[in-house]
Amino acid sequence: MGTTTEEGYILLVEDEENLQEALKLNLELEGYEVTCAGDGAEALKRIGEEYFDLIIMDVMLPEIDGIAVTENVRLNNNDVPILMVSAKGSSAEKVLGLKKGADDYITKPFNLEELLLRVKKLINKNKRLQDKETIGDHYQFGKNTIDFKAQSATNYRGKVIELSRKEAMLLKLLLENKNDVVPREKILQAVWGYNVYPTTRTVDNFILSFRKYFEEDSRNPRYFHSIRGVGYKFTN
């Protein structure tokens, strides 16, 4: 399984080997964990299997170009920040890249320090968006109450349920993002600390447990919802 890193996980999509190696080294010196892809197809495969805090995307790639990869990522509801890199400085290409979902754009040849500043800014912004308003030690929904400090819950039947650490972490994440879909990737990274995903059944089983604990009719859940192919949502 992957490990956690404080600075962030970056996918570097660059087909020029020398530049790829130089950028990887400089990003690693800044404390980032870097995964490389040399073409668009490999980039899409990596994005489907791993969690990233940022993608540095070269536009000119063999077969599938960076703009097509970016468009594909956004069509799959993945909101990972994308910094697009291009050898062309044309404003038309820049506008197209931003239209297709890039968050920022830098042209070659670029100043390394400027690139590192943009990387840091995008990752920090993304982490701030992920850090939703935290909830306290106690939370109530319907006739269910959660005590996060004690890692226990009392459900609508008055039954006391001991929660595992992972159950408490996942509950907290869903409750803090109330009414928003939390992508499966984000859950696995935040709760399990993986950047390489285990099977999706892992999270599904936890959601089934929550329904069993807290839903009066687990077949027609009111609180815990699975959004097929995207993630999970808590509504109250």
Q: What is each CA distance from 119 to 17, 85, 162, 181, 214, in whole angstroms? A: 20, 12, 42, 26, 42
Pairing verdict, β 144-147 and 182-183: unpaired
CB 23 within 8 A of CB 14: yes
Q: Which of 77, 84, 64, 74 is nearest to 11 (CA)?
A: 84
Please give the mean pLDDT across all residues of the chain.
88
The helix (H) or strand (E) run that includes residue 210 is: helix 201-214
**pLDDT score recorded for residue 227:** 87
Ranges of residues in the chain whose predicted pLDDT is under 50: 1-4
Look up residue 1 and give its DSSP letter.
-
Starting at the edge strand that comes first in sequence, how are the strands of the sheet with 138-141 ordered? 138-141, 144-147, 152-154, 160-162
* Structural domain spans, the chain: 9-130, 138-234
- Torsion angle of C-alpha atoms 209, 215, 218, 223, degrees rounded to 10: -90
Question: How far apart (Å, rounded) are the C-alpha atoms in residues 116 and 40?
Answer: 23
pTM: 0.65
Q: What is each CA distance from 30 to 118, 125, 127, 194, in whole angstroms? A: 13, 17, 17, 21
**pLDDT score recorded for residue 199:** 65
Three-point CA angle 230, 42, 126, nearest 5°: 50
Domain 9-130, second-level architecture: 3-Layer(aba) Sandwich (3.40)
**pLDDT score recorded for residue 91:** 81
* CATH for 138-234, options being 1.20.1050.10, 3.40.630.10, 1.10.10.10, 3.90.1150.10: 1.10.10.10
**pLDDT score recorded for residue 211:** 96
Starting at the edge strand that comes first in sequence, how are the strands of the sheet with 82-86 ordered? 33-37, 9-13, 54-58, 82-86, 104-107
Measured from the Cβ of residue 133, the count of other Cβ atoms closer than 10 Å reads 7
51 residue type, one letter: Y
**pLDDT score recorded for residue 131:** 63
